Structure 1
C-alpha cells in the first residue's frame, strides 16, 4: 500500500501549520485527503483553496447542482470517501433521497430538473473526456451563466483529482463510515 502519513498539526512545520489553520478555520476540521496532502503544504493550500471556492466561496453553482455533480463524479470514479463526505451535504442541500440512492447505485436518476440533468451531461462529458453537447451547454449557460458551465467542468476535475489522491495513497474512509458502494 502506498500510504502517506496524516500529520497532526503539531508535527507540521510552521508554514504547514498556517495552511492547516486556514483549512480548519474554513472547514471546521480536516481529515483524510487534506491531511494526506499536508505532506506537500503548498499544494494542499492550493487544492483546499479551490475546494473552498466551490463549497464556501463565491461559486455561482447552486448547492443542489454542486453536490449532485460531486456525488456523480465520486460515484463514477468509485471514490467512496467523496461520497461519505458529501452525502450529508447533498441531503442538506435538498436533493431527494430517491435521487441520492440512484446515484449511489451508479444509475442516472430520472427525477432531475432540466438543469440538474444538463449538469450530469456536462459532468459525463468532462469525465469522458468529450465535448459537451451544444444543447447541454445552452441549458446550463441560460440557467447558470457561462461561469456556472465552466465551474461544473472544473468541479469534476477537482473531484477527479481528489479521487486520484484518495486511491493513490489508500486514504481510509472517515472513522465510523461504511463503504457505500
Structure 2
C-alpha cells in the first residue's frame, strides 16, 4: 500500500490529465502528479530515453531491468521485462538477468552493458576496465544514453520504493 494517497486525476489541470492519460493513469505517474511540473519533466526525459537516441533498445531494456533488480524495485522489474519483450528481449534473457554473468544468452555488447550497469548501481561509477570495455563497443552518444538510462531508472526505482507504489494489474503496461 502506498505511503501517501495517489493524486486524483480529476483534480489536475488539462496538461497533467493528458500526461496521466498517455501513461494509463499508472500508479507511479499518479503519485508523481502531486508535483505536476516534475511529472511533466520526468515524462519528457523518460520519453527521450525510451524513444529517441541511438542506443540499441534491447541493450537499454536489459540495463533498465537490471537496474530495477539491483535497486530491488519489483514494479520496475515487471514493467521493463514487459517493455523489453516488446523490443526484442527474449524470455531467456529476462529470466537470466538475476544472474547474467553465468548466462550464455547475452552477446558481448549486452554483457559489457550489464557489467557497466552493475558497477554504476553498486559502486556508483564503473571501473576503468568496465568503462573501456563498453566504450569500445558503443558510440559516444550510445554510451551517454546508456549511463543516463541507468541513472534515470535508479531514480525511478528509488521513487517507487520510497513511496511504496502499488503494482499495476498484469494487463497494464507502464514504465
Q: Shorter-normalised TM-score: what interval?
A: 0.7 to 0.9
1:122 deviates by 1.0
Residues 93-102 or 125-134, more deviating: 125-134
1:110 deviates by 3.0
**CA distance in 2: counterparts of 1:18 and 1:2, whole angstroms:** 24
DSSP 3-state at the match of 1:143: coil
Aligned to 1:118: 112
Task: Flag structure 1 segments of 5+ consecutive residues without an equivalent.
Answer: none
In the alignment, which of 138, 148, 151 is matched to residue 154 of structure 1?
Answer: 148
Q: Calculate the aligned-residue CA RMSD, in Å.
A: 2.1
Which runs of structure 2 are paired with 1:1-181 in the superposition (5 Å)?
A: 3-12=3-12, 14=13, 17-22=14-19, 24-25=21-22, 27=23, 29-56=24-51, 58-103=52-97, 106-108=98-100, 109-176=103-170
Task: Flag structure 2 segments of 5+ consecutive residues without an equivalent.
Answer: none
1:41 deviates by 0.8
DSSP 3-state at the match of 2:105: coil
Residues 92-101 or 61-70, more deviating: 92-101
Q: Deviations over 1:5-43 (max 9, x none)?
A: 22232211x2xx313414544x4x230111100001111
Please give the TM-score of this superposition, normalised by the length of structure 1.
Answer: 0.82
> Higher relative contact order by CA 8 Å / sep ≥ 6: 1 or 2?
2
Matched residue pairs, number? 169
